Structures are given as structure tokens and as C-alpha cells.
Chain A
Amino acid sequence: MPYSEPELEAILSRARAFCGYPRIMDPEFVLSPSSHLHAAKLKDQFGIWEPAENRIYLNVPEIMEKLGMQNLEAVCVYQLLHYALAPFDIRTSLRLIASGKLALEEVKDKGRMVTFEEARSIQRLFCDMVNVTYAARNGMKEEMISLYHALDRAKGLRASKMWKFVLGCFEEMWGCPNALVGKLQHEMREDARCVSRRFLEKPFAASGWEQKMRFLVGYLHKYYDKPEEMDKSRIMDHGIDEMRGRAPEEILRSLAHEMGMQDFKELVGGIGAGGESEALVWYYRDLSRRYEVRFRSVLSEAGEEAPHAPLAWGMGDPFEHLDLPYTLYTSGKAVPTLTTKQWEKTRLDVVSKRKTPPDVIIILDASGSMTNPTTEVANAVLAGFVMARSAGNLGAKVGLVVYSDQQRSLVVKPSWEIRKVEQGLVTYYGGGTVFPVRELLNLSGIEPHRAKHFCLISDAEITNLSEAAYYLGEALQVHPDNSGSVFLVDQEYSEKAEAIRDAGYEIFPVSRGEDLIRIIAGKAQELYG
């Protein structure tokens, strides 16, 4: 072994310092891969990322044999920079993958089917480019040139157009002409120059990566036939974009704020995280988070004083403070100041009584006059999410009726399982509008001892309005604390809604769809805040 363990440690600590101590378990140098726990995975690899441990294992003999020990430090830096710079986390990588997929469709590479796997390969290559360029431009240019020279020899990819193009790009980006690949076809050299010019405009600012990635796709697609060719030009995997062992919803969290619904749905399907209805639920849930009412610890009130901790009682203390039974119990005899005890008292916090939150029954219009929640963001559905999640957060039950005409309605009985309600909320029928009288009567009769709030979201184009108003009024009579509110989408004023107001409901006409969310969030705050 040409390197001693302290030397290996020194290499690793230098690499970690260079990369700003990324948040990952320390990489481990594997000196005898055949007897290692991950021997099978390490075989013929420079290194692996183990998801269960979130640790990198570097196969030192393989690196020594194929790349040379002088490149070990560069390999360490290459690997660690993925955690420090690009892609940094799975959300960035997903953003880049989605962008790459769309760009591939735009350039329509030879009429082939475009897959997410292909976009992921491009994303990985792009992140490699960012990372090694960072290293090269911050004092490791020779090391990176040496690493890619060694890789060139080890992989034997000289015939591959992809590999030549990547090396050509590096030459241009690092400002070292002919240092890696030398002579290139004129068109390829020009393409490499174009990519490099665009890349070098704030190359390490993550906000510009999506556009740079799309630009790269425009050139890259000319130089490969199969996506695997891009994977071959990499040194090893980093595992940041691996879905295995991670909850899809957590991974996709907050992406709804950055991309449209259709792009989000496609991303969910493309990475195999779920189907369309799951994607919709995640999307609306994500959007509703910023409006929903969350559980807050109740305020305490200061009450009477209560014993808190024993203290020594001295002759100077008031006699009535002496706790003689406790003194005798603890010491057997009362010796002033030595065994005598009194109590330190403290004011007790008394938890103020919280009002029992009412269960909520959401009655959502899914008729043809309402926006289809599967094609664009439907404010009515988002409002339903806000109300349902607010109630759920406060421990209230949530029931749901999604209705259109007499034949089509969906009922979720009041339950603490908000997920069922969320799945129901994204249902769309697109038919006529007949108020579901029977379903409402059934739901209002369930657990009549629990107070309920009936929340109707509709555009009030209801065929059986007088019947609906009568039964909505009846539903309020079941419990003295029952209440109701009606949110009228795209209405400044509706004469029809007056009938429902007479039944005891609060009416909220909403002329601009986007206001609906704020208004319903205000109502949720009033009920559960």
C-alpha cells in the first residue's frame, strides 16, 4: 500500500475542507473490497453510495489500479462536491430532471420517446460538470485534468462521441485548450464552446441551473444514441437523486409552489412516485399548507400556589412554613435548620379550557360550471383542502360530499382520516348541479352529539335550490352548536343565496377566485384558530 492510513486521512480531511464539510457521513476508504460488507456492490466500481447508511465507500484498490493514487484526492472532491454544490439535495435534482425532460421534448431528439431516465442521466452529467468546474476554477485544475486523463485511459471511451464532447466542454470551461481531448470535429468544438460560454455565466448559482441544463440538452442530444453513454462518462454515483427508501411526498414537498400542476403530475408519474390522484392530492396539500390553521399550544393561566420542592427550614423562617410531618418522615427527628423542612412554592399553571372544535362537513360542488381540479388549480378544491386540513390539525372530524347531479356524488363520513377526504376532494364529475339532499341528511344524522359546521362551496347554480335551503336549515337544528357557511365562487351577489342565508347560513360571495382561499382560511381561523 503506497499510502499509509494517516496520509489517507489527510487526503480526506483536505477534500472535506475544500468542499466546506458537507452534511454527510464521512466517506470510508475501503482497502480490501473483497472482504467488505458491500463487496458485491463495490466490485469494479470506484466507489458507491450506500443509502441505508448515507455513506460513501471509496474502493481504494480499484482507484489505485485504474486511476492512480495521485487522483484519489480529486475523486474524493468530485464525490463530496455533489453534497456541497450540485445537486445538493433531491429537490434540486428533481427540478433539473423535470426541466431536462421538457427540454428533451422541445428538441425532439430524432423522434425517440423521451424518458425520465434519460433526463436523469443528463442531470447527473450536468451536476458533474458544475462540480468539477468548481474544483478546476478553485485551485484544482491540474488535479481535475489529471483525473479525467486517467479516466479517459481507464474507460477506453475515446471512440464515444459523448465522451469526446464532454472532454471538449471541460477544455473550454476550464480554459485549457488541448489538455484533455485535443483535436475535435469543427462542429463539436463549436458546440462545446457554446455550452461553455453559457455555462460560465454564474455557473454555481443554483437559480440558473434549470436554464443551463435546458441549454445543454439542446446540444447534448446530438452526441448520444443511448442514455447509458452519459452514465459511462461519470466516475461514480452519489445517490442524492435516488428515490429508494424515501417517502415520495417528503421528496416532492414544496415543489408545487415552483411548478405547474401538469408538470408536477408528470414528474410524479415519471419518477414512479405515484399515480395521478396521488399527485393531485400532494399538489393541493402542498399549496394549502401556507393557509391552513395549525395546532398551537394553549395558553396557560397562573393559578394558586402549590408545593414545588423541599427546602431547609431555619429559625428565621415563619413557623407556619415548617412541615413537621415531612421532617419526621424524612429524618425521624426535628433538629432546627439541620433536618427541618419547609416547601418552596410555585404558582401552578392552569391550562385554559379550549373550545371543542366542531367537526366540519364540506359540501363541494363538482359540476360542469366549476373548474376541473385535474387540469388546472381549482380554487374551490384548494379551499376544501384548507378547511379539511385545518379541522384535522385541530382534532376535529371531517366529512365530505362531492356532488354534481342526482346520479353522481361521493360521500366520506366524518372521520379523523383526512387522507380519505383529500382523495375525495380532487374528484370531478362535470355534470349538472343537483344539491345532494339525501347525503346531507345522512351525514348530519351521524353522531348528533358532536357539533358540526357545514361548509358549502359552490357557484350557486343549483337546480333544487329551495329544497337545498330547507334541508341545510334542518341540518343546523340537529345540534345547538351547529353552524354553516356558504362560499359562492365567482359571484358578487346572488339572489339565490338569500334563501340559504334565511336558513341560518353565513354567505361569502367571492368575485375573484383567488380570494376564496383567503376567505375560507379566515373562516377556518375563526373556527379553529
Chain B
Amino acid sequence: MKFPKPVFKRSSESLRDLLETNRAEEEARATHFQDYDLAEFFLNLRSRDRISKARVRKALPTSDDRELVELLHRLVDEAASNYIQLRMQWQREAVGFLTTLAVEATSSLGEEFLELPGSLDYVGLQAEGTPEKRLMIKGGRIGNFAGLKARYLNIKATSVGDYCFRRAVRCNIETQTAGKCLGEEGEDLRLTASEAGDWLMLKSKRCYADVHKVGRLAGLDSHKLTMHVHHTGAELGARAKDAVIYVYQDAKSLGLRGSGVIYIGKGSPPWRTTFRVEKLP
């Protein structure tokens, strides 16, 4: 845009005016950064459409990574302190994107991991690491939908909620307890947990899970799943293709129409199954 030219005597041509203007703008920017809170963030973001990572980034008033991390920590803490008030899905998704931006900025600053307050949903939503520089989130309890569509993200937490790592690629999860539907349609995921819910690694590809106890229908419709498990729920590996499953103690039942091999402990009943069943020594 072509700006109007000053034609009056008291014009901004003078250096003092220019300096004064710049100083005022810089002061306004600093105040903006300090005053920026979650309410203003939501005000900037409000839309009828689904929000995206780019829109969330655009709504934040900073371009410097260090400032960004500081601001994101402030906003995430504010959200966590009153999370029950954020009832709408888009608000929770927005906070999820804040955690994503925070972990990405933290990683670009050379720090190893980001520690998050508990019980947030959508943590690490669409986070994008690289094979050389994986992203890392640590936390106590992490809510539902963590790591959705993330790439090269590691999460280490006491527990993760339901529907985590849906459509994620090359992510690692270390937790005690995982909710249901973890890793749905994910690719190359790696899970270490004590206990996981139903539909673990549903429709996933090339995933690896080491879990003490899993729920029903683990590995349903998966491709090339490798799973080490002690206790499983019913219908283990139903319709899975080329699965390699080690069951060290007991399985309720094996799923129908699966292919691959199941290594199973001695004393288990003779299953009628399409899997190749091998007895563990």
C-alpha cells in the first residue's frame, strides 16, 4: 500500500517524530506481549471453521522463538489452571496447538523436552519433528487425543487418555496406562506401557507395542503389527495382516481372519484360528 505523503509543516519527516513513533510502537508491542492472555487468544482465533496450526501461530503476537516459548508456557499454564472452563472442542484443540508450538519452539532452541501440566487434551496435535530432531513431551497425566497426526514425537507420561496418536507417524509413547484406541491408523508407532485399553493400534501399519496388559480387539485390522503382551482381552489381532504377537501369559481369545504368527505360552487352549500359533519355550 502506498502511504500518504506528509505535506504539512509539522510533518513526521523530522527524525524526532520518527524516533518517537518507533519508540511508541515498540512499547506497544512489549505491552501487547505482556498483556496477552488466553481470552485474547480465543478472541483472535474464533471462527466457524476448524482451526489449524498456522492460524494459531498467526494469532500469537511474537516472532522470536524464546519469547514464543515464554508466551506459550504462560498460556498453557493459564489454560491448565482453569481447564474445566474450556468446554468447547475448538478451545481444547487450540490449547493443543499451543502445546505443539511450544514443543516445536523448545526443540528449535536446543532444549531436550517440554514438560506440560496435567490433564490437557490434544497435546502435541500435529506436532512435526524430524528424524534427526525428535520432539519430546513429558508430563504426568495427559488427556485424550494426544499426538493426533503428529510426526516424530515422543511422549513420556504416567498416563495418556483415549484416542491418542491417531494417524500419527513414527512416534514413541512411554506410559503406565494408555486409554482406548491408541495409535488408530498410525504408522511406525512404538508403545511401551503397563496397560492399554481396547482397540489398541487399530488399522495401524508397522507398529510395535510392548504392553503388560491390553484390552479387547488389540491390533484389529492392523498391518505388520509386532506386539509383546502378557495378558490380552478378547479377539486379539482380529483381521490383522502379517502380525507377530508374543503372548507371555494368557489371551482371552484370538481374533478371526488374522494372518501372521502368534507365539503363546504353554498351557493355553488349542485355538481354532487363521494365525500360525507357535508355543513359546
Contacts and interface: CB of A to CB of B under 8 A. Distances in A.
Contact of B28 (A85, A105, A134, A201): A201
A139 B6 contact: yes
Nearest to A143: B8
A48 to B, nearest CB: 23
A266 B12 contact: no
Contact of A139 (B8, B40, B50): B8
Given A20-B4, A198-B28, A260 B43 contact: no
B49 A261 contact: yes
Interface stretch (B29-37, B117-125, B268-276): B29-37
B46 A20 contact: no
B2 interface: yes
Contact of B4 (A81, A105, A218): A81
B16 interface: no
A200 B24 contact: yes
A257 to B, nearest CB: 13
A141 interface: yes
Contacts of B59: 211
B43 A218 contact: yes
Interface string A214-232: 1101100000000000000
A343 interface: no
A140 interface: yes
Contacts of A199: 28
Contacts of A201: 25, 28-29, 32
B42 interface: yes
Contacts of B48: 102, 260, 262-263, 265-266
Given A260-B49, A263-B47, A17 B25 contact: no
A84 B5 CA distance: 11
Contacts of A140: 8
Interface in B1-56: 1-12, 21, 24-25, 27-29, 31-32, 35, 39-40, 42-44, 46-50
A106 interface: yes
Given A84-B4, A200-B28, A138 B49 contact: no
Interface residues of B, number: 33
B25 A138 contact: no
B44 A214 contact: yes
Interface string A89-124: 000000000000011011100000000000000000
From DSSP, what is the main secondary structure of chain B's interface residues? loop
Contacts of A29: none
Contacts of A139: 6-12
Contacts of A107: 43
Contacts of A429: none
A137 interface: yes
A197 B31 contact: yes
A266 B5 CA distance: 38
A81 B1 CA distance: 12
B8 A18 contact: yes
Interface in A486-523: none
B4 A18 contact: yes
Interface string A262-280: 1101100000000000000
Contacts of B28: 197-201
Contact of B50 (A141, A204, A260): A260
Contacts of B5: 17-18, 20
B47 A102 contact: yes
Contacts of B1: 85, 88, 206
Contacts of B35: 194, 197-198
Nearest to A204: B3
Interface string B244-258: 000000000000000
A260 B48 CA distance: 8
A88 B29 CA distance: 25
Nearest to A262: B48
A443 interface: no
Which of B4, B29, B42 gathers the greatest number of chain A CB atoms within 10 Å? B4
Which of B2, B44, B59, B61 gathers the greatest number of chain A CB atoms within 10 Å? B44
A102 B44 CA distance: 9
B207 to A, nearest CB: 18
A376 B43 contact: no
A202 B28 CA distance: 9
A298 to B, nearest CB: 39
Contact of B2 (A17, A20, A134, A175): A20
Contact of A18 (B6, B29, B49, B50): B6
A360 interface: no
Contacts of B47: 102, 259-260, 262-263
A294 interface: no
A197 B27 CA distance: 8
A234 interface: no
B7 A215 contact: no
A140 B29 CA distance: 25
A17 B7 CA distance: 7
A459 B50 CA distance: 24
Interface string B101-140: 0000000000000000000000000000000000000000
Interface string A11-46: 000100111100000000000000000000000000
Interface in B83-106: none
A376 to B, nearest CB: 7
A106 B43 CA distance: 6
Given A19-B4, A194-B35, A197-B28, A137 B12 contact: yes
A84 B2 CA distance: 8
Contact of A14 (B7, B42, B61): B7
A266 B48 CA distance: 8
B116 to A, nearest CB: 26
A88 B42 CA distance: 28
Interface string B147-159: 0000000000000
A353 B207 CA distance: 57
Contacts of A85: 1, 3-4
Contact of B10 (A141, A175, A194): A141
A20 B11 contact: no
28 contacts: A18-B7, A20-B3, A81-B4, A85-B1, A85-B4, A88-B1, A102-B47, A102-B48, A138-B4, A139-B7, A139-B12, A175-B24, A194-B35, A197-B27, A197-B28, A197-B32, A197-B35, A198-B28, A200-B25, A200-B28, A202-B25, A204-B3, A211-B61, A214-B43, A215-B44, A260-B47, A262-B48, A266-B48
Interface of B: 1-12, 21, 24-25, 27-29, 31-32, 35, 39-40, 42-44, 46-50, 59, 61
Interface of A: 14, 17-20, 81, 84-85, 88, 102-103, 105-107, 134, 137-141, 175, 194, 197-202, 204, 206, 211, 214-215, 217-218, 259-263, 265-266, 376
- 4 residue pairs, one from A and one from B, having the closest CB atoms: A260-B49, A262-B48, A139-B8, A201-B28
Given A103-B46, A197-B28, 4 more contacts: A85-B4, A211-B59, A217-B43, A260-B50
